Amino acid sequence: MGMNRRDFLKCSTATCAALAALEMKGGNFLRPSKAIAADLPGSLGAKEVTSVCEMCFWRCPIVGKVKDGKVVKIEGNPKSPVNGPRVCARGNSGVQLVYDPDRVKYPMKRMGARGEGKWAKISWDEALDEIAHNIQAVKKKYGPHALAYFDHGASAENMRGIFEAMGTENYTSEPAFFQCVGPAALAYLNTVGYITTGTRQYNDMGHAKAMLLVGSHIGENIHVSHVREYIQGLSSGAKLVVVDPRFSAPANKADIYLPIRPGTDNALLLAWINYVIQHKLYNKEFVANHCQGFDELKAATKDYSMDWAARICDLKVGDMKAAIEVLAKASPHVNIHPGRHSTWYGKGDVGRHQSLAILTALFGAVAVPGGIYLPTPVKPSKAECAEAKAAEVESPAASLKEGKYPFSSPFGSVTADVIQAMITGKPYPVKLLGVNGVNIIQTIPNPYDTMKAINNLDFIFCEEMMAGETAVWSDIVLPGAVYLERYDDVHTYDGLTPYLTVRQPVVPALYEAKSPYWIAKNLAKRLDIKGYTCEKEEDFINEMLKGAGLTLETLREKGGIVTYPGNPYRDPKKLEIKTDSGKVNLSIKEFADAKLDAMPKFEPTPAPPKGYTRLIYGRSPIHTFSRTMNNAWLHNEEPENRLWLNTEIAKRLGIADGEAVVLENQDGKRSLPIKVLVTPGIRPDAVYMAHGFGSRSPLLSRAYQKGAADGFMMTNLVADPFIGATSKRTNFVRIIKDNKVLDIPELRPVPKEIPYFEIKRA
């Protein structure tokens, strides 16, 4: 917070200039000179292997440096058009993931009660035999839909094929959809015809003349290429508007910062839409040629005035008007950032992102420099030898995939519904769960329900690299090879400069760890599942590379990456919108047909009850959720999170900066101790913490009980009515200091349109 926008840009520009000067003078800042001796200490002269990072989901191309058979350094692949030779702190620390002494080293079988953490070492044959036996037994007793699989990340896809082949529909790529991106993805898919909010995030910030961020913490999530494009835009003079109840890293760089009341974002967006229409600030040609539903939108938003929104949002009318006029002036080269994490309040989450997409369309910022752009697909061949043959099984009469949420089915079974089926046995019993790549107890809200569900299972197993809470609650734990020890599918990037690359082993797998493909293939044999016929993992990589006219050998010769021409922009006269209507849908007929709102509207989320404040959360630039908390290098930099508490609230409660407190939520659940950061950079009606801390796994020696876990405070959940995604900002906390409960004073009066949350305890 000590660096303002001007200093930040000056520093960024100066750094880039210095690096360029070094290169022009023949310096070796970006890459070692070939003239340097190979036996110097450090990574110089090391064997170099290209691969793809998996320390977060952004998947930057990397080069692993290997000496004496050991990874000693990780750098960005200089051939990468998006991150070049750069990696973030997490990318560098992949070295420590490989050599973490707390790694899962061999298959383990639970010996005590679930959650107790008592294990026996077993062989791979024993582990796979037991998993196969339980899968067959549960399927025979209850039917195929008693099986479920939760996964996330590139390592999880091979095992997903096992569950598909067994005939269940209960597999879901969570948390990426139902706990994170789902509402935003659905809104953009149905408004502009494609998903702009996933891993790639098709936002041309580098060429924008103005940018809007609503609760988006770019610079705190440290996705390298995304941050680089953001810095490029700011360095080129783009104006920045930030809407956030917390003075985030982007807020510190903003031209206009709007510290909005939590839960009222869509009131502001709808007032802006109305203002743009009433003052004719929209791109008339784009709206006329490429949008449908404008008249309906105009009528639906006419009562959302700036004065009304200022009172609801606790903002100044002048600031709100100045912000929307800055954005309008930059049209069409304006980036209304779609965001990614969108599961905030349940009701209204889809509508909030519809509003962002509508503003984008009103400004004509589709397929133009600075707006949202169109992807350029890079399609490798399909590798059938690495796949299981999916079973053809009818969905049950009461389906968890084709359930009560009309738009959930293309994205898998609803996570929360699968967990409830484990607890209640309705609409049918779910009795076996496989988990890969996700810590379900830390990630899914209300871990108390998740633990209850696990205890109702006949069997649960997981594939893990680090033994987090999910491993502690499993019956069998399989040691997975880390990303630097394995092959995964060919990785393609369809952004501004498309490319193709491959994740491949930098070093052999340590201990008894095995690759996801090996595990799936050997489990498939025991279950008599056809498929997984590749003799070696290189075989399915080469099969996929055929479509690009490449082999692993030729790709390695090209430095691990092949780039392609991009086609992100279109002449507005030739723009094709890939929705059913062929237009940008300002009003969505499919939503109306499902008896849901065709256009966004303001639905107030309840305000904190008396004595409580709203809990919000976000990312740490050092860590990736709970998965890096035990990493030696990253833990050293940030061993625990802190609770952001407003300065005036802290003064009234007598809480000093750095004091440890405990949080109690509206249902009486208490957190682990967390130290307070007293700051004016958070509204008095909210507290904030970074997600992923507060591990409950004693098998992680560094991370165990360091900081507090926000998820253990999330017991009040509101389902999004479109897809069933789970709300995460509908929980409230008060502070306990020295065993005394301290009520939070209400410093910002709540308008009558917003109800208070009612506490209902048994």
Task: Please report, for the domain that includes residue 697, its CATH number.
Answer: 2.40.40.20
Q: Which two tokens stand for residue 722?
A: 């479109």
Residues 172 and 216 in one domain: no
Mean pLDDT across 446-455: 97
Q: Which of 339, 326, 360 is nearest to 241 (CA)?
A: 326
112 domain residue, yes or no = yes
Q: DSSP class of residue 566?
A: -
- What's this model's pTM, rounded to 2 decimal places? 0.92
Mean pLDDT across 552-556: 96
Rounding to the nearest 10 degrees, give the CA dihedral for residues 213, 85, 548, 436.
-70
Q: Evaluate if residue 10 carries a pLDDT over 70.
A: no
Domain boundary among 43, 73, 98: 98
Instruction: Determine the pLDDT at residue 110.
Output: 96
Instruction: Determine the pLDDT at residue 222.
Output: 84
Q: Which of 96, 48, 97, 105 is nearest to 76 (CA)?
A: 48
- The percentage of the chain sitting over the pLDDT mark of 70, rounded to a whole number, equals 93
Instruction: Determine the pLDDT at residue 212.
Output: 98
Residues 17 and 121 in one domain: no
Domain boundary among 70, 98, 126: 98
Instruction: Determine the pLDDT at residue 157.
Output: 83
Q: Where are the alpha helices (DSSP H) in 35-156?
A: 89-92, 94-98, 124-142
- In this prediction, residue 16 has a pLDDT band, given cuts at 50, 70 and 90, of very low
Residues 158 and 267 in one domain: no
Residues 116 and 235 in one domain: no
549 domain residue, yes or no = no
Residues 519 and 663 in one domain: no
Contact criterion met (CB below 8 Å) for 187 and 354: yes
Instruction: Determine the pLDDT at residue 387.
Output: 86
Q: Evaluate if residue 401 carries a pLDDT over 80.
A: no
Residues 236 and 289 in one domain: yes
659 domain residue, yes or no = yes
Q: Evaluate if residue 3 carries a pLDDT over 80.
A: no
705 domain residue, yes or no = yes
Contact criterion met (CB below 8 Å) for 691 and 617: yes
Contact criterion met (CB below 8 Å) for 72 and 65: yes
Mean pLDDT across 742-760: 96
Rounding to the nearest 10 degrees, give the CA dihedral for residues 11, 12, 13, 19.
100
Q: Evaluate if residue 43 carries a pLDDT over 70.
A: no
Instruction: Determine the pLDDT at residue 175.
Output: 64
548 domain residue, yes or no = no
Q: Evaluate if residue 744 carries a pLDDT over 70.
A: yes
Lowest pLDDT segment from 395-404, 418-427, 475-484, 605-614: 395-404
Residues 320 and 466 in one domain: no
201 domain residue, yes or no = yes
- The percentage of the chain sitting over the pLDDT mark of 90, rounded to a whole number, equals 82
Residues 167 and 49 in one domain: no
Instruction: Determine the pLDDT at residue 489.
Output: 86
pLDDT in tens, 625-661: 999 999 999 999 999 999 999 999 999 999 999 999 9
CATH value at residue 416: 3.40.50.740
Domain boundary among 98, 117, 138: 98
Q: Which of 268, 207, 203 is nearest to 233 (CA)?
A: 207
Element (H, E) at 455: helix 447-455
Mean pLDDT for all residues in the chain? 91
Lowest pLDDT segment from 6-10, 247-251, 346-350, 573-577: 6-10
Lowest pLDDT segment from 185-189, 389-393, 684-688: 389-393
Residues 384 and 361 in one domain: no
Mean pLDDT across 243-254: 97
Instruction: Determine the pLDDT at residue 153.
Output: 79
Q: Evaluate if residue 174 carries a pLDDT over 70.
A: no
415 domain residue, yes or no = yes
Residues 203 and 346 in one domain: yes
Instruction: Determine the pLDDT at residue 35.
Output: 31
555 domain residue, yes or no = no
Paired strand residues for 614: 686, 732
CATH value at residue 93: 2.20.25.90
pLDDT in tens, 459-475: 999 999 999 999 999 99
CATH value at residue 227: 3.40.228.10
The number of domains in the chain is 4
Instruction: Determine the pLDDT at residue 27.
Output: 33
Residues 369 and 383 in one domain: no
Instruction: Determine the pLDDT at residue 44.
Output: 66
Q: Evaluate if residue 30 carries a pLDDT over 50.
A: no
Q: Which of 66, 34, 61 is nearest to 48 (CA)?
A: 66
Q: Evaluate if residue 745 carries a pLDDT over 80.
A: yes
Give the integer Cα–Cα distance in Å for 726 and 277.
33
Q: Is 758 exposed, middle or buried (0-12, 13-18, 19+ CB in 10 A)?
A: exposed
pLDDT in tens, 711-728: 999 999 999 999 999 999
Q: Evaluate if residue 38 carries a pLDDT over 90.
A: no
Q: Evaluate if residue 40 carries a pLDDT over 70.
A: no
Residues 217 and 294 in one domain: yes
For residue 332, what are the domain limits? Answer: 195-373+570-593
Q: Evaluate if residue 28 carries a pLDDT over 50.
A: no
